[in-house]
Amino acid sequence: MAKKELKPLQLVCDLAPTLAQRVFQIREMRNLTVKDLAALSRFSISRIEDIESGVETWLSATDRQLLARALSVEPLILLEVESRRLDNASDAEKLKVQEQLAEKILKGLREESCPNCGGSLKCSVENGLDLDGRVQEYAKAFCLKCPFVLRA
Ligand SMILES: [Zn+2]
């Protein structure tokens, strides 16, 4: 595919308010097909379709970089309309996310995307005493971007 001439994005005063609409909008402005965007971002075509139809509402830091680069915009342009997954989650869902994350961290995972915003999580394992005085490992994590914290 020939490199297309890119127009400055300032002509866009009205960027769409959701990730789905905004990706679609910028892609159209760039005169790219879904297939073009998939090739540029190295996402699958179905993934681009999922994003544009609102199935995926937030991106990991790495994916956001890739997609933003493919669209020739700053990652912030996408980040600001991603919906925070945990905002509308029930307490049970939040607890489940926390438990799954804790399990992964205890298995050795140290780099993970924040389940809330997709930013970088700082993960660690700390030793503590349980109620019976036995040494136990606790998973800890906090997000560098949003207030998400994992407290075991
Ligand atoms: Zn976060």
Residue ranges making up the domain that contains 130: 91-151
Distance 145 CA to ligand 1 centre (A): 5
In a domain, 4, yes or no: no
Give me the CATH number covering residue 36: 1.10.260.40
22 and 73 in a common domain = yes
74 and 18 in a common domain = yes
Q: What is the pLDDT of residues 94-133, one digit of tens each?
A: 888 899 999 999 999 888 888 887 778 999 999 988 889 9
Q: Which pLDDT belongs to residue 3?
A: 55
Distance 118 CA to ligand 1 centre (A): 6
Residue with tokens 């919906």: 83
69 and 20 in a common domain = yes
CB atoms closer than 10 angstroms to residue 82: 17
Residue 36's pLDDT band, with cuts at 50, 70 and 90, is very high
Q: Is the pLDDT of residue 135 over 80?
A: yes
In a domain, 2, yes or no: no
Distance 135 CA to ligand 1 centre (A): 29
Residue 2's pLDDT band, with cuts at 50, 70 and 90, is low
Distance 139 CA to ligand 1 centre (A): 17
59 and 116 in a common domain = no
In a domain, 8, yes or no: no
- Please say which residue of 25, 58, 79 terminates a domain: 79
User: Strands, E, within the chain: which ranges?
Assistant: 111-113, 120-129, 135-143, 149-151
Distance 90 CA to ligand 1 centre (A): 17
Q: What is the pLDDT of residues 50-104, one digit of tens each?
A: 999 988 888 888 999 999 999 999 999 998 888 777 777 788 888 888 999 999 9
- Please say which residue of 27, 44, 79 terminates a domain: 79
User: Strands, E, within 24-119: which ranges?
Assistant: 111-113
95 and 75 in a common domain = no
What mean pLDDT comes out for the span 14-42? 95
Of 56 and 152, the one with more pLDDT: 56
In a domain, 1, yes or no: no
> Which residues, at least 6 apart from 49, have a Cβ–Cβ distance to it below 8 Å?
34
68 and 41 in a common domain = yes
Q: Which pLDDT belongs to residue 107?
A: 94
Report residue 128: phi and psi, to 5°: -150, 175
Q: Which pLDDT belongs to residue 77?
A: 93
Distance 120 CA to ligand 1 centre (A): 7
What's the structural domain count of the chain? Answer: 2
In a domain, 84, yes or no: no
Q: Which pLDDT belongs to residue 123?
A: 95
